[in-house]
Structure 1
């Protein structure tokens, strides 16, 4: 009997999965495999944990859901807590598999693992084969013959894609799969403790969503946001919100783990436009998916350069590595409420709004002048929707070392006053500011001692004094242009 292995990584689904469908059509037995690679639970270049407890929980839930889906098809998921270059050759020899199918990744660490697997499999009779399944526009259909053809700026990238490419249709899930060979032990899904991840926090009810991992939950979120609650028609107007589950789609955690695909969202948007309304919001949903493509293709082009201190444009910035500054930023104790609220949301829930991400990145890399990679690595550990290309690409973009041709920074207080005018968001995450009136809530340090007493917020006791003078940092940033 012909046997193939499908190695799952950031593609934890059975629908719109070209590698799985290809294997099912051409082989009698398909063995899906997921490896909890110990390297993903080690530390980053700054001795931060690569995968924190919230992200690890979402991953384990997604793997469990994939296993359940495969069991419904008659198969199972082989799970190992080991390096794939050790696991896959052993499975090949035990089953006589002739092919190993996998989706290609673009991050440098991910590419190194692919190379290690290729080298390990070379001593067997099996052949590795790669598929492309991360982006809305397939690599083979994109007008880029080589990585260097990818435009460095988003607008030319978008226009070229939309003019010269088409989105491929989604692929149905297999209707049935053969059971695993008797000789193959499916294995168990490790706990956070097994993975060496410290803690397993409960879901905090202050968060925008519980964020349960898996294809089942991801598809349900798409149906809820677009169809049941009918929020797609207002997406462009609400997407910069800060509180509540429906100000934005929040599809990103399931996209990052490959529980759902951009093409599935694209097809739902097309159906919505046919059946309900086509407007700026429906277009903007696709627009944001193309931004996600942009960062993926840029990472494909950049290779290891994306992870250098000078980033994509070799910007020679004298970065700081001040531990106290980083600690204040990371723990949400800078004394600047909009930053602190966003960081506390991230630490508690694993999520932060896009508006928040831009501001905290500007704070770290521009106002504090800390190495932008420290912030990107911290996000890698914390974010439930961590994606190597989107995370590192956006951090570079907001830190003067990425694809933005402008030297940009955010006036954080003005941003807070615009997007959290009534202070509800900062009070939600900073209860010590509960009684502070709107006029002071984003700058509590401007209160007099008597006002601090009256509003139960003593600076330096109940809430920190500002760690830096933001206006002075803006003057310095402008002088460096």
Structure 2
């Protein structure tokens, strides 16, 4: 039996990467307009099987959804909640058959190809069934945007807008949630269905709005001091960086909430730190917009001129990089850290990608899914754009080839981070710690040190030099230059090109 959306049925708020109740426009609209409202979160089989998904993502989502439902109950909102494991379209079809869907509310998701294909299928279905789907844009992100003429102004205007407050309307009433088909209702955190989960002993940051607000509060109450100086250091940055990225990636906070908190912050003796943090906020939206404008970059380089760029990396070197067993202490420490905790500061992430693509000579596609699984804050719009930028295949950005030994000596000069994550080197003298291969063999043999740490799988100096020559030569080709011109026209504001 089909129900007319005009006179009966439920209003469904579909939560995806927006797991919060504050500053949530689709939720606020459904509560004010609806009569019977279902708050819905779905673990889809295609997502559990996707090679960018890891169990840490699923756990974070579960924690965030559980916290959201707990708060909804505490507020005594007359709504129903459901978390399901099934294809989203099947869920909506079933709901429409047994209860009737009056309207569907959600944010547009900056997701992967399979989620976009799903959204296209749902769009066709709601049109056929005459169900309004109120899709809200997030932070001035436009699908398929062809230029940036007014984008920066739109972003700033959105950030300065009022925060949306959700409140039950006068017509809201409780109702019976339908009985779900067998296997749909989730009673515990689902797990990935592929065999490439990174595992990790943790601790990982916990999901939920309350945790997000705690990180936001402690950052602007004092942790921001030292941000500018310590942002590039793998150990100190774990405290001095905001650590808000997982909460933005999974929507426990909106960027508007963060932006307005930043604008109102008054932290003594932290003016330059606040300025450095604020300068990075719009970059988050910039890279997400870049991905939405050219979503093909999930699979191929934004600059098509690099389609034939030659790589000669071996399966053995790729495996060593993924496992943190390259013989380069800082590279291995960073990989082991992000596998086990889900977090790594930006500079060290960039160094990992640089080492993979430049020193080990692998295409960025070889490592993009592995680090997506490792990063608790995996955000597709940022991840694929940044991976290509650090791999040097955009044709518009400065080519940066990070020397991991130099980075180690500058960013972990006392070796505290390395000793924590590479225990094989815990007793290595500091003069050899950043490059253990320089220790004379006999001295190492007679020192009584752990000898299990691998020799470097590549020469940092010669591999870096070869990569630099190859990248600069390729960047000068006509194909890359023509593509670079096209990219600038689409992704850079006209004033920036003058």
1:68 Cα deviation from its structure 2 partner:
1.6
Whether the 8 Å contact between 1:2 and 1:27 is mirrored in structure 2 is no
Tell me the equivalent position of 1:118. Answer: 123
Runs of 4+ in 1 over 4 A off after TM superposition: 160-166, 175-180, 185-188, 192-195, 197-203, 275-278
Tell me the equivalent position of 2:241. Answer: 248
Q: Secondary structure at the match of 1:148?
A: coil
Distance 1:448 1:353, change over 3 A: same
1:167 Cα deviation from its structure 2 partner:
2.7
Distance 1:164 1:188, change over 3 A: closer
Tell me the equivalent position of 1:310. Answer: 301
Select 1:71's aligned residue among 73, 84, 93. Answer: 73
- Are residues 1:463 and 2:457 paired? no
- Are residues 1:237 and 2:240 paired? no
Q: What is the alpha-carbon distance in structure 1 between the residues aligned to residue 200 and residue 358 of structure 2?
A: 34
Q: For residues 176-222 of structure 1, what are the alpha-carbon distances to aligned partners after superposition, in whole Å with 9 as ceiling and x for unaligned? A: 795652142487435456553778968535xxxx4011112111211
Q: Secondary structure at the match of 1:421?
A: coil
Specify the structure having the higher radius of gyration (Cα): 2
Tell me the equivalent position of 2:54. Answer: 52
1:285 Cα deviation from its structure 2 partner:
1.9
1:427 Cα deviation from its structure 2 partner:
0.6
Whether the 8 Å contact between 1:440 and 1:446 is mirrored in structure 2 is yes
Q: What is the alpha-carbon distance in structure 2 between the residues aligned to residue 123 and residue 179 of structure 1?
A: 28
Distance 1:202 1:323, change over 3 A: closer
Q: Secondary structure at the match of 1:41?
A: helix
Tell me the equivalent position of 1:265. Answer: 258
Select 2:40's aligned residue among 30, 33, 36. Answer: 33
Tell me the equivalent position of 1:328. Answer: 320
RMSD: 2.7
Tell me the equivalent position of 2:98. Answer: 94
Whether the 8 Å contact between 1:38 and 1:82 is mirrored in structure 2 is yes
Tell me the equivalent position of 2:63. Answer: 61
Q: Secondary structure at the match of 1:129?
A: strand
Q: What is the alpha-carbon distance in structure 2 between the residues aligned to residue 197 and residue 126 of structure 1?
A: 35
Task: Note the residue ranges of structure 2 that are not aligned, 5 or more in a row.
Answer: 1-7, 473-498
Tell me the equivalent position of 2:84. Answer: 80
Aligned residue pairs, count: 454
Q: What is the alpha-carbon distance in structure 2 between the residues aligned to residue 85 and residue 401 of structure 1?
A: 37
Tell me the equivalent position of 1:189. Answer: 186
Tell me the equivalent position of 2:469. Answer: 479
1:284 Cα deviation from its structure 2 partner:
2.1
Whether the 8 Å contact between 1:241 and 1:247 is mirrored in structure 2 is no
1:419 Cα deviation from its structure 2 partner:
0.5
Q: For residues 329-378 of structure 1, what are the alpha-carbon distances to aligned partners after superposition, in whole Å with 9 as ceiling and x for unaligned? A: 00000000010000001111122221210110001111111120221111
Whether the 8 Å contact between 2:9 and 2:99 is mirrored in structure 1 is no
Whether the 8 Å contact between 2:39 and 2:80 is mirrored in structure 1 is yes
Q: For residues 281-330 of structure 1, what are the alpha-carbon distances to aligned partners after superposition, in whole Å with 9 as ceiling and x for unaligned? A: 222222221111111110111121x1234334532312346321110000
1:164 Cα deviation from its structure 2 partner:
7.8
Q: What is the alpha-carbon distance in structure 1 between the residues aligned to residue 16 and residue 70 of structure 2?
A: 17
Task: Note the residue ranges of structure 1 that are not aligned, 5 or more in a row.
Answer: 45-49
What TM-score do you get using the length of structure 2 for normalisation?
Answer: 0.84
Q: For residues 224-254 of structure 1, what are the alpha-carbon distances to aligned partners after superposition, in whole Å with 9 as ceiling and x for unaligned? A: 2222xx1224322222232254121110111
Distance 1:157 1:431, change over 3 A: farther
**Farther off after superposition, 11-20 or 405-414:** 405-414
1:402 Cα deviation from its structure 2 partner:
3.1
